[in-house]
Structure 1
Amino acid sequence: MKRYISIFIALMMFPVIASAQISGRVMEAGTNDPLPGANIIIKGTQTGTSAGTNGTFTIDAEEGDILVVSFVGYLSKEVTAEPDMRIFLEPDERTLGTIVVSTSVIDIARARQTPVAVSTISPTEISQKVGNQEFPEIMNDTPGAYATKQSGGYGDSRISLRGFDQSNTAFLINGQPVNDMENGWVYWSNWQGLTDVASGIQIQRGLGASNLAVPSVGGTVSIFTKTSENERGGSVSQLVGNDGYTKTSASFNTGKGENGWSGSFLLSYWAGNGYVYNTSGEGWTYFGAVGYEPNDNHSFNLSILGAGQWHHQRDNWVSIRDFENFGDEGIDPRWNTNGGTLNGDEFNMERNFYNKPLATLNWDWEISENVSLATSLYGSAGRGGGTGPRGQYFFNSDIDLYPFGGIEDLTEHYLEEGDGAASRNADGTINYDNVVQVNRSTTSAYTGGLDAYNGQLIGSNGYRDNGVNNAVMVRRASMNSHNWIGGISKLKAEVDKFTFSLGVDLRKYTGYHYRVLNNLMGLDGYFSGGSGSRGNQNSLGMILESDNAIEASPFKDTGLTGPKIDYYNIGFVNWQGFNGMIEYDSGDKFTAVIQGGISNQMYQREDFFDEPDNTLSDKKNVLGGYVKGGANYNINDNHNVFANAGIISRQPLFDAVFPGFQNDINPDLQNELITSIELGYGYTSYNFDVSVNLYSTVWGNRFIESSFPNEQGTFGTAQFDDVDELHNGIEVETTYRPTNRLKLEGMLSIGDWKYTNDFSATLFDDSQNQIGTATLYTDGVKIGDAAQFVGFIGADYRLGDWSIDAGYRHIDNLYAEYSITDDAFTEPDNPGALELPSYGLVDLGSSYTFDFLGQSASLRVNINNLFDKTYIAESNSNIHASSGDETWKGINKRNFVWYGFGRTWNASIKFDI
C-alpha cells in the first residue's frame, strides 16, 4: 500500500506555477445563480480552471485571450478575457457537459436537480483511458460498478451495478434500450465499436431518471455516440497494445453547411492475438451520421453503427491448479483449456462471431417555446452466434480431450488418474490434427439407405447404425440472430414551474435460435436426426456435407435459410409501453418529480424441431409497470440533499414464460417485484465536491437461467425461479482540485448483498432435454460475481501540453457465484459463499498534445495493472479449504476461477485533419 500512496504524494508535489491575472464569475442566464464547478479554458491550450462556490474563478490569462466556458447542462460560450468578468451561460437540454446529445428522447440526470445518484464519464476519459481494454471497464472507477473480462476473449466482458448483473441493469444507446428482449443480457462483443464512437457515458444508479420501463434494477447506463457534428474536420489514429493488438481509425466531419446539412463518418479496424492463449480476433467498426436542421424548430439525425467481429474464446472454467500445472511457471492467467492448433494454425472449438448494425432516425421538433416533441425510430438485424463441439467424442478414448470445465479438471484427468492425453500436446494445448485423424480412422464407410453417401465417412451425435459413428467431434455453430425494430416518442410541455411529459415506447423483436454445421473435422458428412438422436422430429434424418456448413464469420451466410441440426425455434416478443412524468422546479432550491409507466409484453414461441404436435404456442400478454418519484433540495450554494423511492413490477424473462424450452406457457408465471429507496447528499465548492448515497433494494420472484458444465465437457442449462434478494449499500464519490493543474478523485462503495430464500432449479443438457432438478439452500448467502467493497483513489496532473494520471482500485468482499454442480449449497447447514482474496490494482497513463503541420496531434500511453498483480476476478465454484488441502492465498486449488489480466499496455497517436 505504501508504494501506491507514494505515487500520489509524488504527483501532488510537482511544482505548480500560476499567476492569477484574470478573475470573474460564471452564472446562469436569467436567474443569475452561480455555476460552481464551471470549466474555464484558454482556447487552443490546456490551461484552465474551475469556478468556485459562488461561480468565481481566477485564471492565468491575459486580456484579449479567448476563454471557453462550459458547464454541465449549459451551452458552452467563448468570451474575450477582461478584468472582473461576468459570464452568463444558457441552459441546453441537449448538452451534458462536453457531451453532445443526439436527441431529446434521452433522459438526462442533472446535478443538484435530478434526485438520483449519477456519475458521468466524459468523451476525453473514454478516448484516452479505454485503449485496448473492454468497454465496460471504463466504468470500474464509479461507485457500485464491477466489470471484468470474464473468460478473457475480446468482447466477452460483463459489468454488475450495485450487485445486479447486466441483464438487470438498463443499457441505452442514445436513449434506445439494447438489453436482449428475451434474456435481458448485453453482449459487449456486439458493441466493440463503442470505444470508437462513444461521446460520453452517464451511469444513473438505482431507479434512474429514464422514463422507459426498462429493467433498471441496478441502474441505467446511458451511452451517447457521436452525432453529425457542426465543425468540419476529422482525424486518423493508430493504437498498438500488448499481444499484437492494433487498431487503425479514421473519421471525418463535413461540418454544418448553409443548407443545414452535416455528416460524420468513422471506420476502424482492429486485430489481436489475445492476452489469453488462443483467443485471437479481429473486427471492423463502421459509423455514419447525417444531420439536417432546416430551421430552428426541426432537427433530424440519421445514424448507422455496427461492429462486425469474430474472436476465439475460453468458455470452459479453469481450476486454480490447472492454471498452475499447464501454463507457464507459477499461476499463468493466460492458460486456455480450449486452445490448440489445426494444420499449423491457431484453432479453437469456441469461436464467437457477430454483426449487429443499428440504424436510428431522430427527429426533434420545437412545436412552440414551451412544447417539444422528440421521436426516435430504430432497427437492428443481428446475425451470428458461437461455435462449439458436437458429437459424443467423450466416448472415444483416442480423442480424449475431456472431461474438463467444472466437473473434473485436467490435473485430475491427466496427471492424477493418468488417463493419457491422446489429443493433448505436452504443454496441455489441443492437437486438433489428431481429432481429425481419429475421426477418420475410427469411422467406417456408410452403408445406409441414402445411396448417394455410400462409402463416405459419416459422423453423428446419436445415430450409430449403417456405419455412422457417433463417437466423433465436429464443430457446430449455435446461432442467436434477431430482427428488432422500435420507436420512442416523448411530448414535453413546460407550464410555469412545472414540466409535463408523455411518452410511448414500442418494440417488435424476433429471435432466431438454431444450430448449423460449421466444420466436419475430417469427416465427409454429418447425420442429423434419426432414431436415438435429438433433432428434427418431423424428419427421419438427413446427411449434411461441407457444402451445408456455414463459415464462422460475421459477414457471411449464417444459415438462417439453410439446413439446421439439433434445434430450431423462434422467439417473438412485442412491447408497448406508455409513460408520464410531472416535474416541479422552484428555480433555485427545490425540485420534485414523479414518474409512472405501464407496459404490455407479448410472448410467443415457435418450434420447428421438437414439438411437431405443438409447433406454435399461444400468445401470452403480461402487464408490467412502475411508479417512482423523488425530490432534491439545495440547502445553499454548497449543500443539497435528495431522496427517491419506487416500485417496479417487471415482466419475466422469455424462458420463464416457456420453461423447459417447450411451447407450453408456465401456469405459475409471475412478475418480478422490485422496491427501492435511496437517500443522497451532495457538497460542491470551489475545489471540492463530494456525494454520498444510501440505498436499499428488495428483489422478489426473480427468474435466473445459467449454464453449468456436465461430465461430458459440454454445458447444460439450469433454470431457477422464485429467487429473492436484498441489496443494501452506501456510496461515496469525491473530487478535489488543490491547484488548477492537479485533480484528485476518490470513490468508496460498500454493499451488503445477499439471497433471502432457498430456491430450486430444473436442469437441462446442451440439447435442451430435461435431466433433473436440484435445490440450493442459499438463505442468507452472499451474492457473488460482484465486489461488495470497492475503493478507488486517482490523481491527474497537467502541466501545459503534458499530463499524467494514476489510479489505485482496491477490491474486497468478493464472493464466488453459486454453480448447480457445487455441493456447497445442497445441504441446509453449509458454509456459505466462498470469499475470494482481496486485491488492489494500479493503472498509469500519460498524454501529450502537440502541433503537427499546423494541426493538433496527441500521444497517449496506458499501463494497466502496473505491478502485474495476480488475482482472481471471478469464481463459479465454492469449494472451501479444509486441513491438508492445497491452497492459493487460502483458496482451495480445486476451485474453478477466472484470473484477471496481468500487466497490459497500449499506446496511441492521433492526428487531426
Structure 2
Amino acid sequence: MKPASKLPLISAALLTAGTGSLLAQSVDQPTTDKVYDLEGFTVTPLEEFSNRAVYGETPVAFSELSKEDLDRYLASQEIPLALNYTPSVYATNQGGGAGDARINIRGFDQRNVAVMINGVPVNDMENGWVYWSNWDGIGDIASSVQVQRGISNLDLAVPSIGGTLNIMTDPAARERGGMLKQEFGSDGFSKTTLIGHTGLINDKFAASAAIARKMSGSYIDGVWADAWSWYFGASLKLNDANTIEFYGFGAPQKHGQNLYARNIGSYSADYALGLDGYDAAALEESYGYERGFAYNETWNYVDPDYAGPQADHHGVGPRRFDDYINERENFYDKPQVSANWYFRPEDSRWSWDNVLYYSGGEGGGTGTYGSVERVSDFGGYFHRNRDWNAEIAQNEANLDSTGRAQSTGILRNSRNNQYTVGLISKATYEASENWSTSFGLDWRTAEIQHFREVRDLLGGDYYLENGQQKTIGGIIDYNNTNTVDWLGGYWQAAYEKDDFSGFAMVGLSQISYSFVDDYNWVNGKPMQVDSDTFDGMQLKLGGRYNVNESTSVYANFGYIEKVPIFDTVIDDGSGEAYLNPPDEVFTNIEIGLNYTNQDGTLLLGANVYNTDWSDRAFSKFVSVLDANVNIAGVDQRHRGLEIESSYYFSKQLKWDSTLAFNDWKYKNDVTARFDPDNDPATAQQFNLYLRDIKVGDAPQTQFTTGLTYMPQSGLNITGRLRHNRKNYAGFDPLGRSDEDDRTQSWRAPDYTVFDFHANWKLPTDTDIEYELFLNVLNAFDKKYIQDAVDADSFSGYHDDFEASGDYADLHDADGAAVHFGAPRRINAGVSMTF
C-alpha cells in the first residue's frame, strides 16, 4: 500500500474513514504526536472481498463510520439515519415506523443504490428496494459502515448508480470479551444488547455472537415496535493458505406503521397557515382538518371484549393489543447466512475469494379488504380511521341462511415469502509489482411468493370470495410466484507505481424473470409467463495521483447499461408482460481532491460529479391497447459539488463539516408513440413536459457541521447541526402531461436540526469498563417537513387550482402531502465491556 502522506496520530483515526474524499467521525483523544505511515494499516480478506475503499488509494468519493462512530451517534436508529451527516446523502424514517427508513444518495433512491452486508447484496431481487426492518440490529454488530458515492469501487456487475452502502462485520478482529448494553429512550423505548467474542484461539479460530431485544412505542399514534436481532460470526484459519468464515444474522420483528402522508393542515393549522401558498380555505375542507403532529389514520380503538383471532406467518393467535387494532402493521423475519472461503497461498501471485449465501424470509403487511366501516365524524372523508366496532357489529349481524356470520369487510395480510441463493467468486492475480488483475462471477436465484390471506374476520365466521367461504388464513385476491435468475461477471485490472494508481473494470450481467399465477388458472392449469433474458453492462475507469505528500487528485468514469427490474417487465397483478422493457443507461464522471496539512490537523476533501440517466422508463397500462407499456426517453442529469473537512483546533477540540451543492433535474420533454399494430386507429401518443423540472424527494443543498470536545480521556461531547435546503416534493412524472404546466413541484421549507451526543468511559482499575451515554436528537424540537408528495391526489387541496387554472395553485403547500420529521427524542443508557 503506497502512502499518500505521513500523518500524526491526531488524525490517524480518520484514515480508515476517509473518502477518496475523507473522513470518519472518530474522535478518540490522541496520546502522542508520533508519526505513522499508512503502510501500517492492513486490510482483511473480507474487506478486500467487499470492495472496501481505502484512503489515499481508491479513486472514488466515500465516507465511513467506524465502530466507535456507530456507538456514539447511531442512538439505535436505523443505519441510514446515521449517514445524514454525509454529503449528498438523505435518509428519513418516513412515517416513523421502526424499520421504515429510506436512503437517497445524490438524488437516487434505494433502487439505484447498492446495499451490501459483508460484500453480499441485499437489495430486493424484484425491484431493488431495501427494507431496513429486515436488518434491524445490524448497527450493533457492524465494525464499519462505508458509503461510496457515485459509481463506487464495487466490482460486482450491479448498478450502483447513486452509490454503494457497505456494512461490515468482522469476528476475527475482536479480542476476547463482550459487552452488555442497556438503553432507554423516549416513547417507551427499551433495548438490551449482549455481545460476546472468543478472541483468537490457537491463532486459528475466532467467533462472535450477539442478541438484542427492542421494545418501543412512538411519537406517532398507533406505531410501536417489537423486535429481536441476532448475529453469529466465526473465522477459522485452516492453514496459511485457507481461511473460512461464517456469518449469520436475522431480525424477527413486528411494528405498527404510519404509511400515509397527509395534508399539512391535518397536523397543524398554525404551521400550515405560516407557509406561502397555503390557502386558508383548505382548513375548512376535510383535507386540512387538524389532528395534531402524532396523527395516524391507520389504527383505532376497539372494544376489548372483541376476542377475534388473527393470522400471521406464525399461524393463528390472539391480537397483540386488547383495546386497539392496527390497520397497517408489518411483520417479517429474513435471516441471512453465508460461508466465505479465502484462498491465499503463500508465495503465490494468485488469490481466490468465494462466498455462498442464503437469505430467506416470511412475513408481510396488513390492510383492509372488502368494505370496512370508517368513522363518520372524524373530520371528513380524508380522515377515515376505521370504525372497528361498527364493522364487527355489522359482520356479526350479517347472518346467512345457516346462521353463520358473513363478513363484508376484513383485515388481510399481504404476504411475501421468499428465498435467495447466491454465489460470488473472485480470483486475483498479481502479474507484477505494479500490475494486478481480477475476475469473478456473481450468480443469484430467487423465488418470491406473493399472496393475500384472511387475517381477522372482524366478528364474522367467513368471507365470501368467488363463491368460496374463506376463514382465518384462507388465501384471497391473488397467489402468484415470481422467480428471478441473475448471472454476472467482471474483469478488472489495476496499476500502481510511484504516485499513481488506477483501475479499469468491465462487468456483464444477465437477468430473467418468470411469473406463475396459482390463483387464476387458465385451461385447468396455472398461468405462467416467462420473460426474455436481458443483458446489462458496466464500464468503470478510475485513477489517483499523489501530487505531493499533502495533496492527491483523482478521477473516475462509469458507463452502465442497467437490466430492467421485474416491475417493468411483468405486471405481477395481471401477469401481463410489458410490450417494451426499458433499456436505461447511466454515465458518470467525477473529479476529486484530498488535502492534508503538514501536521495532520486539517483534512479536506472536495469533488465534483456529473451523472446522466438516459431513457428512464415509466410503466403505464394503456386501456386502448389493453397492454402494459413503458414510456421511455426521459433523461435526468445529476451533478454537484461535495466538500468534507475535519480540523483539530487542539487535542481536545475537533471540528467537522460537510457541504453539498447539487443540481438534479429532468433534461427534456418526451413524446412517446405506441403503434405495435401499425394502425393509426389504435396508435397512442403520450407527451411528458419535464424539461428543467427539478428531481424531487431529497434536498439539493446540504450543510452539516459539528464540534467535539474531549476534556479528558474517555469523555466526548459532540454537538452537530444539519441544514437542508431545496427539498422539492416527489412527484409522478407521468402526471406532467400538460404543456402549460412548467411549474416546479412544491419546495418544502428549509430547516436546521441540532443533535447532541455525550459519551463517558468511567475511570476504572479493573478489566471491566463502564460507559454512560446520552443522545438528544432534534434537541430543540424543531417542527420540519422531511418528506413531501407534490399535488397529492388523496389529501391535497386543489379547489384553488380548479378555480384559477393557475398551475402555481396546484404545486403549492396546500396541495402537498407530507411526513413531518421526528420531534425531540432522547436515547440514554450504560454499557459494560468485559
Question: TM-score, with normalisation over the residues of structure 1?
Answer: 0.78
The equivalent residue for 2:76 is: 132
CA distance in 2, matches of 1:745, 1:294: 43
The equivalent residue for 2:757 is: 845
What displacement does 1:334 show? 1.8
Q: Would you say 1:691 and 2:605 are equivalent positions?
A: yes
The equivalent residue for 1:868 is: 781
Instruction: For CA contacts below 8 A with separation 6 or more, give which structure has more relative contact order.
Output: 2
Which stretch has the larger CA shift, 873-882 or 354-363?
Answer: 873-882
720 and 382 in structure 1: CA distance in 2 versus 1, 3 angstrom threshold = farther
37 and 241 in structure 1: CA distance in 2 versus 1, 3 angstrom threshold = farther
Structure 2: runs of 5 or more not aligned: 21-29, 270-285, 305-321, 622-627, 674-683
CA contact (8 A) 1:148 1:159 kept: yes
Q: Would you say 1:296 and 2:244 are equivalent positions?
A: no
The equivalent residue for 2:51 is: 107
CA contact (8 A) 1:228 1:262 kept: yes
The equivalent residue for 1:400 is: 374
Picking from 685, 698, 701, the partner of 1:789 is: 701
The equivalent residue for 2:366 is: 387
CA distance in 1, matches of 2:153, 2:456: 48
CA contact (8 A) 1:475 1:517 kept: yes
CA distance in 1, matches of 2:161, 2:63: 17
CA distance in 2, matches of 1:170, 1:83: 39
CA distance in 1, matches of 2:31, 2:725: 51
Q: Would you say 1:518 and 2:451 are equivalent positions?
A: no
User: What is the aligned length?
Assistant: 757
The equivalent residue for 2:400 is: 446
CA distance in 1, matches of 2:168, 2:205: 21
847 and 149 in structure 1: CA distance in 2 versus 1, 3 angstrom threshold = same
Q: Would you say 1:748 and 2:659 are equivalent positions?
A: yes
CA distance in 2, matches of 1:899, 1:402: 26
Q: Would you say 1:812 and 2:734 are equivalent positions?
A: no
Paired residue type of 1:589: D
Secondary structure at the aligned position of 2:393 is classed as helix
Picking from 257, 272, 281, the partner of 1:313 is: 257
Paired residue type of 1:362: N
Secondary structure at the aligned position of 2:157 is classed as coil
704 and 224 in structure 1: CA distance in 2 versus 1, 3 angstrom threshold = farther
Q: Would you say 1:898 and 2:819 are equivalent positions?
A: yes
Secondary structure at the aligned position of 1:893 is classed as helix
Kindly report which structure 2 residues correspond to 1:495-534, keeping only aligned pairs within 5 A, or say none. Answer: 495-528=432-465, 530=466
What displacement does 1:85 show? 6.4
Picking from 270, 275, 278, the partner of 2:222 is: 278
Which stretch has the larger CA shift, 226-235 or 315-324?
Answer: 226-235
Kindly report which structure 2 residues correspond to 1:149-548, keeping only aligned pairs within 5 A, or say none. Answer: 149-258=93-202, 260-324=204-268, 332-342=292-302, 343=304, 344-369=322-347, 370-393=349-372, 399-401=373-375, 411-413=379-381, 430-441=386-397, 443=398, 445-447=399-401, 454-459=402-407, 472-494=408-430, 495-528=432-465, 530=466, 541-546=467-472
Deviations 1:723-751 (A, max 9, x none): 42111111111111111121111111111
What displacement does 1:104 show? 3.3
CA contact (8 A) 1:327 1:334 kept: no
What displacement does 1:431 show? 4.4
What displacement does 1:785 show? 0.7
What displacement does 1:217 show? 0.8
CA distance in 1, matches of 2:620, 2:530: 26
The equivalent residue for 1:50 is: 11
CA distance in 1, matches of 2:130, 2:716: 34
435 and 112 in structure 1: CA distance in 2 versus 1, 3 angstrom threshold = same
Secondary structure at the aligned position of 1:137 is classed as helix
173 and 858 in structure 1: CA distance in 2 versus 1, 3 angstrom threshold = same
CA distance in 2, matches of 1:700, 1:333: 40
The equivalent residue for 1:631 is: 543
CA distance in 2, matches of 1:720, 1:525: 43
What displacement does 1:545 show? 1.9
What displacement does 1:581 show? 0.7
Secondary structure at the aligned position of 1:413 is classed as coil
CA distance in 2, matches of 1:303, 1:297: 20
866 and 37 in structure 1: CA distance in 2 versus 1, 3 angstrom threshold = farther
Secondary structure at the aligned position of 2:252 is classed as strand
What displacement does 1:92 show? 5.4
Secondary structure at the aligned position of 2:133 is classed as helix
What displacement does 1:659 show? 3.7
Kindly report which structure 2 residues correspond to 1:556-571, keeping only aligned pairs within 5 A, or say none. Answer: 563-571=474-482
CA distance in 2, matches of 1:111, 1:87: 14
Deviations 1:789-837 (A, max 9, x none): 01011111112221100111111000111148x9776554342211111
CA distance in 1, matches of 2:208, 2:559: 41
CA distance in 2, matches of 1:870, 1:718: 42
CA contact (8 A) 1:198 1:225 kept: yes
CA contact (8 A) 1:242 1:906 kept: yes
Deviations 1:420-452 (A, max 9, x none): x9xx7xxxx6542233123323x2x224xxxxx
What displacement does 1:608 show? 1.3
What displacement does 1:305 show? 0.4
What displacement does 1:339 show? 2.2
CA distance in 2, matches of 1:850, 1:338: 45
What displacement does 1:652 show? 0.4
CA contact (8 A) 1:863 1:906 kept: yes
193 and 226 in structure 1: CA distance in 2 versus 1, 3 angstrom threshold = farther
CA contact (8 A) 1:213 1:626 kept: yes
The equivalent residue for 2:534 is: 622
CA distance in 2, matches of 1:132, 1:52: 23
CA distance in 2, matches of 1:243, 1:213: 43
CA distance in 2, matches of 1:649, 1:682: 30
Deviations 1:818-869 (A, max 9, x none): 148x977655434221111100001111110014654111111011111111
Paired residue type of 1:210: L
Paired residue type of 2:104: S
147 and 402 in structure 1: CA distance in 2 versus 1, 3 angstrom threshold = farther
CA contact (8 A) 2:222 2:299 kept: yes
CA contact (8 A) 1:272 1:281 kept: yes
CA contact (8 A) 2:49 2:353 kept: yes
CA distance in 1, matches of 2:644, 2:291: 35
Which stretch has the larger CA shift, 853-862 or 162-171?
Answer: 853-862
CA distance in 1, matches of 2:194, 2:125: 33
Secondary structure at the aligned position of 1:616 is classed as strand
Paired residue type of 1:542: Q
CA contact (8 A) 1:38 1:70 kept: no
What displacement does 1:661 show? 3.5
CA distance in 2, matches of 1:635, 1:302: 42
CA distance in 2, matches of 1:706, 1:680: 40
83 and 114 in structure 1: CA distance in 2 versus 1, 3 angstrom threshold = closer
CA distance in 2, matches of 1:626, 1:87: 38
